[in-house]
A = this chain, B = another copy of it.
Amino acid sequence: MRPINLTDYEALAKRRLTPLAWAFYSTGSDDEVTLRANVSAFARLRLRLHTLVDVSVSDLTTTLLKAPVSMPIGVAPTAGHCLAHPEGECATARAAGEAGTLMIAATEATRRLEDIAQAATGPLWFQLYVYRTRALAESLVRRAEEAGYRALVLTVDAPVWSRRERTLRCPDDWPADLPAANIADQSELDYPTSLTWRDLAWLRSLTALPLVLKGLLTAEDARLAVEHGVEAIAVSNHGGRQLDGAPAAIEALPEVAAAVEGRCEVYLDGGIRRGADVLKALALGARAVFVGRPVLYGLAVDGAEGARHILEILRDELALAMTLTGTPTLAAIGPNLVRPA
């Protein structure tokens, strides 16, 4: 049957993907408590709808670090899109552009960042990992800048890799013909480097691109990020793939938003499966959300068209939820829209 929501796509993708690809995409770390909490925590929030409001004009457009987008929903950085479709990240970038929104391309993409940039029609940001050799990071930043990426998204929750047991249990190896396309020496992948707040100065020295810190979950870290002048924070637990036991993204959002007090942009990723989830995140202080696994599942089912459909479904659902709650514009969305169940 034709998929009509993100869960349909997930079920279809599970059938199409190789066991390794399914394990790699779907796994969380350890007991997957945080993976499940990301989704289930949204269900504990209720939307306090308002009626008899003029909802004839609905407007989802916004800007993300000044880049105009058609909706407050972007594509989160995820690795290995070629596991889902031969065109890999290039197809995803095209899908994002067609949906009028931006994509964050991952360092560990299976297509070269330059090729992704060439395929893209919308704005791109570059997610950066720093590995063993800083020269690699510098090279990646320069390449991203030259290829037209408009921001750096530094992932800060992976000083080491966690254990993702579904992947460990999968007998298959990563396909040899699908290397991390942006990294010449694949052994670098084994050595994420622990950066500190002080290292942000080094990163700033390399580029004038705005900086997004991805993976913050506490008020303390949010305040530090603001003090260090970052342009945006992405509240994220790495899709439940790093520290199992970390708070669900939507659980952590309120304390981060309260600490930031509007001094930088705040995003959220993790657990978004419905437009109403997006609305809850916006109500609790996010400027936008990013979506990871569902886009991959769309890609697996129907290539760029599937990924685009995922984004369009979310857009339609968000627009519907905004209309039904009497908040047809993003400016109308506020914290009183949400209450605990």
Chain A residues proximal to chain B, CB less than 8 Å: 1, 4-5, 30-31, 33, 37, 43, 45-56, 156-157, 159-160, 162-163, 165, 168-169, 194-197, 199-200, 213, 215-218, 220-221, 224, 242-248, 251, 274, 276, 280, 317, 320-321, 323-325, 336, 339, 341
Contact = CB atoms under 8 A, between A and B. Distances in A.
Contacts of A163: 4, 317, 320
Contacts of A280: 245
B159 A218 contact: no
B49 A157 contact: yes
A157 B324 contact: yes
What is the total number of copies of this protein in its complex? 4
A167 to B, nearest CB: 11
A276 B245 contact: yes
B157 A51 contact: yes
Nearest to A48: B218
Contacts of A51: 156-157, 213, 215-216, 221
Top 7 closest pairs, chain A to chain B, by CB: A51-B156, A243-B324, A46-B247, A245-B276, A47-B245, A55-B194, A52-B197
B169 A1 contact: yes
A341 B218 CA distance: 14
A200 B52 CA distance: 9
A194 B156 contact: no
Given A51-B216, A157-B51, A323-B159, A245 B1 contact: no
Given A50-B221, A53-B194, A55-B194, 18 more contacts: A4-B165, A5-B30, A47-B243, A47-B246, A48-B218, A50-B218, A51-B215, A51-B216, A52-B200, A55-B159, A159-B323, A160-B324, A243-B276, A244-B274, A244-B276, A245-B274, A245-B276, A247-B341
A192 to B, nearest CB: 10
A245 B321 contact: yes
A257 to B, nearest CB: 16
A293 to B, nearest CB: 17
